[in-house]
Amino acid sequence: MNAAPLPGRLEDPGDGGLLKIERVEQPGMSLLSSELPETSGRVAEVLVGLNDEVEAGQPLFRLDDALQQAGLAANRRAVTEVDAATQVAQAELAASDGLIRQAESAYREAIADLTTKEGLASRSANAVAVREIERLRLTVEGREGALEAAIANKATLQTRVAILLPAQKSRAEAALAEAEIELGKTVIRAGVSGRVQQFALRPGDIVNPMLRPAGVLVPSDAGRQAIVAGFDQIQSQVLKPGMFAEATCIGKSFSIIALAVAEVQDVIPSGQIRQGEQLVDIAQSGRPGTITAYLLPVYKGGLDGVPPGANCIVHAYSDHHHELEADDIGASRWLYLQMVDTVAVVKAALLRITALLLPVRTLVLTGH
């Protein structure tokens, strides 16, 4: 069984009953955190050494960022170009008012000339040539069209300044933010506080999220607060939160650690079916899975001295104290529960014998 962090607090009710689990949180139970970059690349700089202690967020190493720097510079130029286009459009918008006034003036002048010529022609048919009046009418129509075009051009510039260019700037700024994020990914930081292990990177090495991790980061509190144990499936009906348990670990010889079951996983990790090219024969699956339970030490510092990830032997015990003292218990039930508790005593004795013999068997009989 592997030790892993599981915050929580136990309270003894004082009446010989099961321990009360006041608060249990089950975070990620992994002891190790592989330091994987979010992008592939060649290592440019290593910022920590072998077995260094690191804090959460501390930079570990940096990848070559020439491509990301170029992309960042290009996106910055795109933002600058949009700002420049906005200033030009605003200047053109200011100039459009003058063009409109100029077109209005020319249009009014053409109308005045046409009105004058038409007045002369009405008083004297030979005073103004018909061709001259037609020319003035065409001039009025042309200058009216020029005025309408100037007004439409101003509306276009207003739409460009108010909607199009801000949208283009937002897109350029989003691309700039994306480029900054991609640049930030070239600096790989520690996700949690802990110690880096197997961290043998050198500048020039290539790391890949799928093929080559940079190393392993062991969290500072990993495996120091709880024990994760696997029990046979037959014990699923009796294994409950609050049950007493005991453990002896190879990493802490000649010691019995008092525990209490904090949580029992309600699924068994066996028989999973994953989509593939062939039908899965369940009968050919591996050995039956176990019931996973999380156990907290009863006493403060109970796991002190147990190396994180150590292998342990755990026994859990049921408690029938209150049921045995009940007045309405039958003889057969009383005899059965006494047998169960006797087996628990035998198991506890065997665990202590195992704790005594385990170091001898490991160091002497196996020759290690």
320 has pLDDT over 80: no
The confidence score (pLDDT) of residue 16 equals: 35
User: How much is the average pLDDT of 26-31?
Assistant: 36
- The distance in angstroms from the start CA to the end CA of the chain is 21
Q: What is the pLDDT of residues 116-129, one digit of tens each?
A: 888 877 777 677 77
Give the pLDDT band of residue 365 (cuts 50, 70, 90): low
Average pLDDT, the chain: 79
- Residue 110, SS3 per DSSP: helix
Pairing mode of beta strands 53-54, 194-197:
antiparallel
CATH of 32-64+186-220, one of 3.40.630.30, 3.40.50.11540, 3.40.50.2300, 2.40.50.100: 2.40.50.100
Q: What is the pLDDT of residues 196-247, one digit of tens each?
A: 887 778 888 888 776 666 777 777 766 667 888 888 888 888 888 888 899 9
CATH of 66-184, one of 2.60.40, 1.10.287, 3.40.1170, 1.20.1280: 1.10.287
Residue 10 CB contacts under 8 Å (≥ 6 apart), including other chains: 19, 20, 21, 22, 260, 262, 296, 298
Give the pLDDT band of residue 87 (cuts 50, 70, 90): very high
The confidence score (pLDDT) of residue 6 equals: 37
Residue 173 CB contacts under 8 Å (≥ 6 apart), including other chains: 79
What is the rounded radius of gyration, in angstroms, for the C-alpha atoms of the chain? 42
* 339 or 126: which leads in pLDDT: 339
The confidence score (pLDDT) of residue 271 equals: 63
Span of 99-108, 282-291, 327-336 with lowest mean pLDDT: 282-291
Strand order in the sheet with 187-189: 187-189, 59-63, 41-46, 206-207
Distance CA(181)–CA(209), nearest Å, equals 17
User: How much is the average pLDDT of 67-82?
Assistant: 94
31 has pLDDT over 70: no
The confidence score (pLDDT) of residue 327 equals: 78
DSSP for 314-350, written as a single string: EEEE---HHHHT-TT--HHHHHHHHHHHHHHHHHHHH
* 74 or 307: which leads in pLDDT: 74
The confidence score (pLDDT) of residue 24 equals: 37
In the chain, where the domains are located: 2-27+222-365, 32-64+186-220, 66-184
256 has pLDDT over 80: yes
Give the pLDDT band of residue 163 (cuts 50, 70, 90): very high
The confidence score (pLDDT) of residue 123 equals: 77
For residue 363, count other CB atoms closer than 10 A to its CB.
11
2 has pLDDT over 50: no
User: How much is the average pLDDT of 184-188?
Assistant: 87
* 221 or 2: which leads in pLDDT: 221
Read off the pTM: 0.58
Query: Does residue 161 contact residue 82 with C-beta atoms inside 8 Å?
Result: no
79 has pLDDT over 90: yes
The confidence score (pLDDT) of residue 329 equals: 81
169 has pLDDT over 90: yes
User: How much is the average pLDDT of 140-148?
Assistant: 90
The confidence score (pLDDT) of residue 215 equals: 73
